[in-house]
Structure 1
Amino acid sequence: MKRRVLFVCTANSARSLMAEALLRNMAGDRFEVASAGTEPTSPHPMALQVLEEAGIATEGLHSKQLADVQGQYWDYVITLCEKAASECGTVCQPAQQIAWDFPDPVPANRHATFALTLKEIRERIALFALVHQKETGPKPASYDPVAVFKALADDFRLSALLLIRSQEQLCVCELTEAFEAPQPKVSRHLAILRDAGLLATDRRGQWIYYSLNPEIPQWLGRVLDETASHNARLIENPLARLQAMADRPSVQCL
C-alpha cells in the first residue's frame, strides 16, 4: 500500500502545491500525495508557471483547507513554514510530523524567486523519497506474543478489533460513530493494531477500510475467537450505535 503524504503551509498557494506536484511526479508510484493550508487562498499563477516550465503536471492542483483533510489517514504530515508548523501542532495523528522551512516566494512576486523555491523544494523532495524508499512496503509482522498482547492491552483497541472482526471491515468514520470517539484517537489506535499485524487495510477513494489481517497465525485466531465468544459485552454498545448509523440514510462516510 502506498504511503500517504500531506504537505501543509499557510496559504497552500505555492510551496505546498509545489511539493505536492513534485513528489507525485518523482515518486507517485510509491506515495499518495495531497496538500492543504491553514489559511488557503488559491494557486499562485507563477507557482503553476514554474512547475509547467519544469515539465511537471499541474492538473488538479488547487488550494484546500487543512480541516478538509484532517479526517483522513496520513503517514507523513510535512509543514513547509514555521507558521504552519506552529499552527498545526499534532494534526492528523498518528502521522509522522516533519517540519521544513522554505521562504514564501509570493511576497517577492518574481519568477526567479519562484524558480529558486521550486529548485530547493525539489532537492528536499528527492532526499525524502530516497530516504523513505525502503519504507513504502508493509513490514511483515513477527506476531511475537508480547507485542501482540501489548497491542491488545487497551480496552478501546480490543473492542475495536472485535467490532471489525464481527463486521468483516469498517472505515474510520464508522468506528468514530460506533465508539463516539474523536477521529484522531480512532486513527491512532488503529495504527497500533495495524503495525502489530492485527489489521489489514484497503483503500477506497479517500477512505481506508480496516479488516482482520488474514495472515494472523492460527493460535492468535483462536484467541480472538474465544475472546469474542465469551465477551460479547465488549462490543454491545458500539455495535448498537453502528446499526443505528446504518439505519440512517443521511449518515454517510464523506
Structure 2
Amino acid sequence: MRVLILCTGNSCRSQMAHGFLQSFDKNIEVYSAGTEASGKLNTKAVEVMNEIGIDISQHSSDSVQKYLGEKWDFVITVCGGANEACPAFIGDVKHRLHIGFDDPSHAVGSDEFIMSEFHRVRDEIKDGFYKFYQENIKEA
C-alpha cells in the first residue's frame, strides 16, 4: 500500500498526516510532498507531534515532482480553505481523495492562540486520517 499526501508547502499539515498514517500501520509506504515545497518543516508542527510521541523531525519537505513517475494506491490532498488551491497530481493513481484542514501556520494572535490552532488542527488530522485508515486500508 502506497500513499502520497499532498499540500502546497509540505511543511505542516501533510507532514502531520504523514506521521499519523505511518504510526497507524508501519507496513504502509507513506510519503508527503508539496507543489511549492518549502524545503523545511514547520517547527510548531514538529513540536505538537512530539508532544504525542510522533517524531516527524527527520521528514523532508519534498516537491511533488519527485513522485510524478511512481504508482500510488492513494493520493490525498489536505489543503483546507477556499482561499487555498489544492495541488493536482497527474500520475498513476488508483484513488484520489481530499481530506481538508485549516492551515495553522496562518494563525495570527498570541502565542497561546497560535499553539491552540496547531493542537486543534493536529487533532483533526489524527481523527480524519484514522477514519481514512479504518475505512480504506485496515478493512481492505
- Tell me the TM-score normalised to structure 2 length: 0.86
> Do the aligned partners of 1:77 and 1:92 also contact (CA within 8 Å) in 2?
no
- Tell me the TM-score normalised to structure 1 length: 0.49
1:134 pairs, out of 127, 136, 139, with: 139
Structure 1 segment 1-254 matched on structure 2, within 5 A: 3-29=1-27, 31-41=28-38, 42-81=40-79, 83-85=84-86, 87-88=87-88, 90-108=89-107, 110-132=114-136, 133-135=138-140
**CA RMSD, aligned part only?**
1.5
The structure where helix makes up a greater share of residues is 1
Letter paired with 1:96 = H
| Structure number with higher relative contact order (C-alpha < 8 Å, ≥ 6 residues apart) | 2
- Cα offset, 1:72, TM superposition: 1.4
Structure 2, unmatched stretches of 5+, are: 109-113
Letter paired with 1:91 = I
Q: 1:49-74 CA distances to partner (integer Å, 9 max, x unpaired)?
A: 00001111224211100001111111
The structure where strand makes up a greater share of residues is 2
> Do the aligned partners of 2:70 and 2:92 also contact (CA within 8 Å) in 1?
no
- Within 2, Cα distance between the matches of 1:34 and 1:8? 9
- Match of 1:116, SS state, is helix
Count of equivalent residues: 130
**Aligned-pair identity (%):** 32
- Within 1, Cα distance between the matches of 2:31 and 2:51? 21
- Within 1, Cα distance between the matches of 2:13 and 2:72? 19
Aligned residue for 1:247? none
- Within 2, Cα distance between the matches of 1:95 and 1:67? 18
> Do the aligned partners of 1:77 and 1:98 also contact (CA within 8 Å) in 2?
yes
- Match of 1:95, SS state, is strand
> Do the aligned partners of 1:25 and 1:57 also contact (CA within 8 Å) in 2?
no
- Cα offset, 1:26, TM superposition: 1.3
Q: 1:223-249 CA distances to partner (integer Å, 9 max, x unpaired)?
A: xxxxxxxxxxxxxxxxxxxxxxxxxxx
Q: 1:190-231 CA distances to partner (integer Å, 9 max, x unpaired)?
A: xxxxxxxxxxxxxxxxxxxxxxxxxxxxxxxxxxxxxxxxxx
- Within 2, Cα distance between the matches of 1:28 and 1:79? 21
Point out the structure with max Rg over C-alpha. Answer: 1
